[in-house]
Structures are given as structure tokens and as C-alpha cells.
Amino acid sequence: MNAHEKGYFTEENSVEVVTGRNAGARDERLKQVMEVVTRKLHEAVKELEPTQDEWMQAILFLTRTGQMCNEWRQEFILLSDVLGVSMLVDAINNRKPSGASESTVLGPFHVANAPELPMGANICLDAKGEDMVIEGRILDTEGKPIADAVIDVWQANDEGFYDVQQKGIQPDFNLRGIFRTGPDGRYWFRAVKPKYYPIPDDGPVGRLLGSLGRHPYRPAHLHYIISADGFETLTTHIFDPDDPYIHSDAVFGVKESLLAKFDKVHDPNRAEAYDFAGDFWDVTHDFVLARNMRT
Ligand code: BEZ
Ligand code: FE
């Protein structure tokens, strides 16, 4: 028996026997990961004492999750999302200095190479939905404006669908755009009020949520990736605080600091200036970027 062999496998020594077998791992981090995962997994199995049938159900659930994955659909990421693991990994990797805007999940609907648009452009290309103007500043943690910040924004439409979910129904790049701040750090653009929507729920993760008595909805939000030289890139959202799902986001992405102010405005002069037909929503939100300590 090699020095690392801990003898024959028993219920009591299961963790030591399995992890001991990895003593010669070439990658220390992999060894550590497998040790923790094995320990926690064996602990769960010992606590739950699954029947053979139950264990098979778990295996088949993971099998179906894998089979659901393709170029467009990543069911394992959805699983990680609804378990709160995506948000936990995000939190661990985005501990921000005080005053900096908080991050949240990227989600599956970001599209690279959205068009760069002049400040003030309307990203709604099909004129459907309630008009909205979004404005604010990109600041550093001392409150100074950041020039040349790049704001990549995307959102669902007023029915809760992204353009990529409705190819041929919505125009390509509907409700997406890239904006660049000037010396005052200000940004503004026009859009429509987004609506809550379900995460893709026609697969094993959606069925799991159903069995757990959970709904699949995310409260209405706008996504942002904001980058600027010398600063950490911020991947975040802003949320409508009055959304019916604001306290029960299926993927746990809501943070108090990401609740924006959505005001309904009746002001014919402003509406005309924005080229809106009538009342509109006004959303104001500043973002604060943390300085990049690695540069
Ligand atoms: C989204 O907000 O786009 C999203 C995030 C996680 C899962 C599904 C969708
Ligand atoms: Fe989203």
C-alpha cells in the first residue's frame, strides 16, 4: 500500500480514503478543490442517506441538465444561479471599496459588439413600450466624474423578452447600446420601461424550481457593463423597486444599492424634447467605479 492509501473504504473513513488517493495530484489547487468538494459531498450524503433510487434521480437530473446545454443555452449556469452560487462567486470576486457601486450577475443575454451610439440615443428600435429616459454620472469613489467611461447597456422589452430571444420579432440589437462619457462623466439615453421575465424555465432547472414551489421570475432591470481605464470593470444592473418580484429574484441578483428611482413624468415640454408622445419614466442613477489596484 502506498503511504497515502488509507486502507479499505468504509462508511466512517470515506473522506480520508478518497482524498488520500489524490496525494500525488499535479495541481495543488485542484487537489484542494477536490478535497473540499469530496468532504462536503460525503457529508451531505451521510446526512441525507439517499436511497439508491433517490441517488439515481440526482444523477438523472444532472444528466438532463448537461443534455440541455448547447451553444445558446447553459443550464448548469442557470442551476448555479438559482442555487445562489453565481451571486456568491460574484460577491467573493467583487469586494468593492466603500462607496463603489455593487456588482451583480452578468446573465446569458449579453451580446458583444452592440452598436456604439451618441449620448441620448433611443435604444428601443421598435417603438413598443412605455418611454423612459435614463440618466446619471459615472464617478470615482471621490465623486469625481470619469471621462471616456464605456457603458454597455442591455435590457428586456416591455413584454420581458431580450432581442436574442425573439429573433425576427424584435430588431437585432433592440434595447442594447454602448455609450461613452465626456469630461463631465454624464450619460443619458432613451429606452422603454423593462418588464419582469422568467429565466429560461423549460428545462430541468425550471422543473426543479416548480417542485420547490419557487417562481422563475427576475424583477425588471437594466444590465450594465461599465469600464474605464484605471478602474475595475463593473458588471451590474439597476432594478425597478416597485416590481412585484423585487424581493424574490429567482437568481438572488437584487441588492439594495441597485434599486433605482423610476419616476413617472407628466411634462409635455420635456416629452417633446425627448421626442416622446406623452408621459414617460425618468430614471436617475449614478455609478461609482473602484480604482484598479492592479495597474
Ligand atoms: C438575466 O438577467 O439576463 C439573467 C440572469 C441570470 C439567469 C437568467 C437571466
Ligand atoms: Fe436580465
Lowest-pLDDT choice from 39-53, 89-103, 183-197, 220-234 = 89-103
Q: Locate the domains of the chain by residue range.
A: 3-81, 97-289
Instruction: State the closest ligand 1 atom to the C-alpha of 200, by its place in the atom list counted from 1.
Output: 8
Nearest CA to ligand 1 atom 9: 107
147-171 pLDDT, tens digit each: 999 999 999 999 999 999 999 999 9
Specify the DSSP class assigned to residue 72: S
74-116 pLDDT, tens digit each: 999 999 999 999 999 999 999 888 899 999 999 999 999 999 9
| pLDDT of res. 293 | 81
Nearest CA to ligand 1 atom 6: 107
23-45 pLDDT, tens digit each: 999 999 999 999 999 999 999 99
Q: For residue 264, report the distance from its CA to the centre of ligand 2, in Å.
A: 22
Q: For residue 51, report the distance from its CA to the centre of ligand 2, in Å.
A: 38
CB of 214 closer than 8 Å to CB of 201: no
Distance CA 12, CA 14 (A): 6
Nearest CA to ligand 1 atom 7: 107
Decide if pLDDT at 188 tops 70.
yes
Q: What is the mean pLDDT of residues 253-276?
A: 96
| pLDDT of res. 86 | 97
- Identify the helix (H) or strand (E) that includes residue 19: helix 14-20
**Nearest ligand to the C-alpha atom of residue 254:** 1
Distance CA 287, CA 151 (A): 10
Q: What is the mean pLDDT of residues 228-236?
A: 97
| pLDDT of res. 97 | 80
Instruction: State the closest ligand 1 atom to the C-alpha of 237, by its place in the atom list counted from 1.
Output: 2
Which residues lie below 8 Å from residue 80, measured CB to CB, with a gap of 6+?
86, 89
Decide if pLDDT at 193 tops 60.
yes
Instruction: State the closest ligand 1 atom to the C-alpha of 223, by its place in the atom list counted from 1.
Output: 2
| pLDDT of res. 3 | 58
Instruction: State the closest ligand 1 atom to the C-alpha of 105, by its place in the atom list counted from 1.
Output: 5
Decide if pLDDT at 10 tops 90.
yes
Q: What is the mean pLDDT of residues 61-83?
A: 96
* Torsions phi, psi for 187 (to 5 deg): -135, 150
Sorting pLDDT into bands at 50, 70 and 90, what band is 295?
A: low
Average pLDDT score, the chain? 95
Lowest-pLDDT choice from 96-105, 246-255, 281-290 = 96-105
Please give the class, per CATH, of domain 97-289: mainly beta
CB of 189 closer than 8 Å to CB of 121: yes
Q: For residue 106, report the distance from its CA to the centre of ligand 2, in Å.
A: 8
Strand 131-140 relative to strand 280-284, pairing: parallel
Nearest CA to ligand 1 atom 1: 107
Distance CA 128, CA 118 (A): 21
Q: For residue 107, report the distance from its CA to the centre of ligand 2, in Å.
A: 6
Distance CA 60, CA 92 (A): 31
Quick one: which of 164, 188, 170, 176 has its CA closest to 128?
170
Residue 249 CB burial class (10 angstroms; 0-12, 13-18, ≥19): buried
| pLDDT of res. 93 | 93
Instruction: State the closest ligand 1 atom to the C-alpha of 77, by its place in the atom list counted from 1.
Output: 7
Q: For residue 81, report the distance from its CA to the centre of ligand 1, in Å.
A: 8
Q: For residue 196, report the distance from its CA to the centre of ligand 2, in Å.
A: 9
Distance CA 59, CA 55 (A): 6
Q: pTM for the whole thing?
A: 0.93
Pocket of ligand 1 (CB under 6 A): 78, 81, 105, 107-109, 199, 218, 251
Sorting pLDDT into bands at 50, 70 and 90, what band is 6?
A: confident
